[in-house]
Amino acid sequence: MSAPRVVSVAPASPAERAGLQPGDEILAVNGEVPRDVIAFRLLTDEPDVVLEVSRGGLAVELDVPKRAGERLGAEVSSALFDQLRTCDNHCEFCFIYQLPRGLRKSLYLKDDDYRLSFLYGNFTTLTRFTEADLERVVTEGLSPLHVSIHATDPEVRASLLRNRRGATSLRWLRALLDHGIEVHGQVVVCPGRNDGAVLDDTLAGVLDRFPELATLCVVPLGVSRFNTEPAMRPHSAEEARAVLEAVHDWQDVYLATLGHRLVFAADEYYLLAGQQFPPPEAYEGFPMHEDGVGMARTFELEFTGAVTEATGVATGFFSWVDGAPAEGYRAPRTIASERAGGGTAVALQARRGAPVGVLTGTYGARILEPLLAHLGRDDVRVVAVDNRFFGGNTGVAGLLTGADLARVLTDEPPGHRYLLPDVCLSQGRFLDGTSPDDLPRPVEVVATDGIALRAALERR
């Protein structure tokens, strides 16, 4: 157990009025030692909180007068104060096993912690879930959760997870649904393993055993050039079309039986199959947007002005969890100087009116090109970046690295404006550890949504 360290205190908040300072370590709240930021929030939700903190090695007690439900106003350094529950599955399709050496240590950490599922939307297999976990989830209302299903057949699921507990752990999914917990499911489809008849069996099993699921996303596995599993390979176009046919057929069944479509296919399947994306209404509010379902349609709605607010990935925690740090893919995309308009933004002033190159991955290029074509501007072009760093079927913008961007930008003309989607950055760094300042051409970091891109293009 490690004490959470305060990283920021909101102005005029109860925490500031009580004298809490960045760098303080919170040892206890009202005499209790919180084990994670969820417990921390529940304890600080009470009125008149007493904080026991360590400041420079000295114990300090702070009385914090506040109303019940009023936010404390302090952000802490981590989400979990005790030990992270790591994943003990050995899924052959796991992308973490396909990472090269030398990346940030945090990228190699596999978690299967229901708390991160609640806080960040991470998917858990429930193979390490316990009765005590169920009691806490139900008692504290930790909803929604996100569960990796992959297959409802016990033997197939255990084989996919390479964990015998995978055959029985979906009993916890049934228990969660029985207690009214909202759960979003996921099926990662591996050609020859859980597609075809197995996928149909899984979707039938969901209807039979887990019809209360909020949503279910069907996504293709990612295969990098570092993959060592011979059975794992990308989908063919024909296989992608078969997956879409199964999903659409079961959408009709679910709609007729449950009143909503329930299951949705990731955008990648439509790109792989060469098919049009469904109309916006078919996504029923885009509940699985962060899992790559409906991103293309939402981007189009944003870019064309059909909606006024972005649907994109939110940074930070769910809004009610006060004090929680932004971690993983929810971490701030840019560093403070970029957010404040410094760094590469200064160089942009000299390029106003210059031609614009919109950087993106190979999948993103296929979405952006028709949208930009409708602008009727000959000064705007898409610069597709082939992902040679990871290779395989890696085509999403979020996995672009500085090395690949540098390779492409070296051959691009100087003096142009280059727009870079922020989704490929975390705390101002690419996955390979480089930063936008390391690129051979200055870039303008733009939020990864249609509204932000349109606004950037309008700045001439």
Quick: pLDDT tens for 256-284: 999 999 999 999 999 999 999 999 999 99
pLDDT at 347 over 60: no
3-state secondary structure of 356: strand
Q: How many Å is the Cα radius of gyration of the chain? A: 23
If one compares 387 and 331, the residue with the highest pLDDT of the two is: 387
pLDDT for 107: 81
The string of DSSP codes covering 28-90 is EETTB--SBHHHHHHHHTSSSEEEEEEETTEEEEEEE---TT----EEES-SBSS---B----
Percent of the chain with pLDDT over 90: 79
If one compares 438 and 119, the residue with the highest pLDDT of the two is: 438
* Four-point Cα dihedral 330, 247, 397, 230, nearest 10: 100
Cβ–Cβ contacts within 10 Å for residue 274, how many?
10
> What values do phi and psi take at 111, rounded to 5?
-115, 150
Contacts of 389 (CB under 8 A, 6+ apart): 401, 403, 404, 431, 432
- Report the chain's mean pLDDT, rounded to a whole number: 90
pLDDT tier at 244, thresholds 50, 70, 90: very high
Q: Write down the residue that tokens 């039938």 correspond to.
A: 204
* Four-point Cα dihedral 55, 57, 63, 69, nearest 10: 60
pLDDT tier at 311, thresholds 50, 70, 90: confident
- Of 94-108, 111-125, 204-218, 357-371, least confident by mean pLDDT is 94-108
pLDDT for 334: 55
- Of 52-66, 210-224, 239-253, 320-334, least confident by mean pLDDT is 320-334
- Of 151-155, 187-191, 291-295, 338-342, least confident by mean pLDDT is 338-342
The CATH topology of domain 95-293 is pyruvate-formate lyase- activating enzyme (3.80.30)
pLDDT at 337 over 60: no
pLDDT for 286: 92
3-state helix, strand, coil in the chain (%, to 5): 40, 15, 45
Where exactly are the structural domains of the chain? 6-76, 95-293, 329-458
pLDDT at 138 over 70: yes
CATH 2.30.42.10 correct for 6-76 = yes
Per-position b or e across 131-164, b if 16+ CB within 10 A of its CB = eebbebbbeeebebbbbbbbbbbeebbbbbbebe
